[in-house]
Amino acid sequence: MLNDNFKEHLQNALSVETIQITSLTGGDINDVYKLSCSDCNYVIKVNDVSAYPNMFKLEAQGLEFIRTSESFPVPDVLTYDNFENLSYLILEYLETGPKNSDFNNVFGSQLAALHKSSSHKFGFENDNYIGSLKQFNTSESTAYDFYINQRLEPQFKLAVDNGYSFNSIDLFYKEISQLIPLEKPALIHGDLWSGNYLINSNGGPSLIDPAVSFAPREMDIALMHLFGGFDPHLFDTYNSQFPLKTGWKKRLQLWQLYYILVHVNLFGGSYYTSAKAILKAYI
């Protein structure tokens, strides 16, 4: 629980006299709390100031990019700052509700709108985070170069440093060079599993916890299929508004490899076996 000094600091930052603090679930990297005030509620995310430099600044930046894409609603950012040895981010508290009957159509339409936001290069203004790991976003001209240089190669290197071994990575890169579609960069959420959207008070989807970049849009689609939790009708609507290139289902594992490698480096275990199986499937 946040101590009294931090609580007083937050009261001053929010210009309120009293705050009731309640722990929330779902914070794997950060401690997450609801701040209940007399006229408004907020969410605060807290972590060690030295553990993840600029994490909350980068999260706020990602939320703003999604907001300006005029696709999904996202929580407003009130502020981010440091206090003593802690870093924190204060967000609007989004009230939740039941899904509307057209929830999946709305989600599919909003995802298509997000992905139609583009840039002249793959990458992003800053490196950011995928979970607790650094995510690299140096500018690249092609989807292939971006995926290899900024996504797979750093994760393979980290995995090897962590004691895992992989065979024929260069051959794998060669084999997939003609599989990746020639498409414009798309603004993607970047960590779009079922825990990173909310059903808002209007019965539609709102996105949280982004790891944004201008990247191949099939990366979002692939992660949504990796852990499940999304209705197939969502993808039907998406395809009706922004059709995916032929063979996208056969490429899902190719994009999922990045997220599986992230899990190898965070958790190990069966994810290592899954990563090796994907390599073998494409060689």
Are 196 and 184 in contact, with CB atoms under 8 Å apart?
Answer: no
* Direct distance between the N- and C-terminal alpha carbons of the chain, in angstroms, rounded to an integer: 50
Helix axes 232-241, 103-116, angle to 10 degrees: 40
The yes-or-no answer on residue 236 being catalytic is no
Are 248 and 215 in contact, with CB atoms under 8 Å apart?
Answer: no
Report d(CA 95, CA 204) in Å as an integer: 11
76-81 contacts, C-beta under 8 A, 24 or more apart: 78/14, 78/42, 79/13, 80/56, 81/13
Q: Which of 191, 209, 220, 236 is catalytic?
A: 191
> What residues are annotated to the active site?
191
